[in-house]
Amino acid sequence: DAVHFVEIDMMSEYGLSVYTHETTHVNDRIVYLGGYKHREGTYVEAYAQGMLQSPAEEGHQGEYGALGLNMAYMRPNDGDQWYNPDPTKLQTRQQIDHYMKGYNEALMLLDYLEGERVLAKKDLALKKAWFSKMTKQMR
């Protein structure tokens, strides 16, 4: 464990995003994961950067778009970043839970449909390029 000091404008979009990122680190094991540790092979950034940090459009995040739970910004979703556009609509734990379950189900459905489409092709090289054996790599 370590303490890192960062100087940034907390009132900027990027500053708010960093705040939600660091708050996730503080709460991930106790609040989000119910006291359990991260999944084996998953580094702590998987939750903070990958899902629970409010996505910013400026800074390094704007380069690749983001999936995430927006709990900081009121902005229309332009389609480049996939998240809820209005954090005030998620008022309770049950609402957040319902939203995130639907969010993950939609992603899994898209993965399924994509996989079915590739499997229907007769191109063996395409299938080999698309699907590969997953191996655990500790990060």
Range of the domain at 56: 1-84
Residue 139 pLDDT: 54
> According to the model, what pLDDT value does residue 59 have?
65
Is the same domain home to 72 and 122? no
What is the dihedral sign for C-alpha 108, 55, 39, 132? Answer: positive
Amino acid 88: pLDDT? 92
Q: How do the pLDDT tens digits run along the chain, 139 residues long?
A: 677 777 888 888 888 888 888 888 777 777 777 777 777 767 777 777 767 777 777 766 555 456 678 888 887 777 766 788 888 998 998 998 899 899 889 989 998 999 999 999 989 888 888 887 666 665 5
Return the half-sphere exposure (C-beta side, CA atoms, 13 A cut-off) of residue 43.
6
pTM over 0.75: no
For the chain, the first-to-last Cα distance in angstroms comes to: 16
Same domain, 1 and 23: yes
Predicted local confidence at residue 10, as pLDDT: 80
CA dihedral 19, 105, 121, 124 (to 10 degrees): 60
Nearest to 51 by CA among 25, 13, 80, 14: 25
Same domain (yes/no): 100, 70: no
Looking at residue 133, its amino acid is K
Sole residue written with tokens 């940090």: 53
pLDDT confidence of residue 73: 82
In this structure, is residue 137 part of a structural domain? no
Active site residues: 22
Closest CA to 61 of 88, 84, 80: 80
Q: What is the pLDDT of residue 113?
A: 95
138 within a domain of the structure (yes/no) = no
Are residues 55 and 24 part of one domain? yes
Query: Which pLDDT belongs to residue 69?
Result: 80
User: Is the four-CA dihedral 37, 32, 63, 81 of positive or negative sign?
Assistant: positive
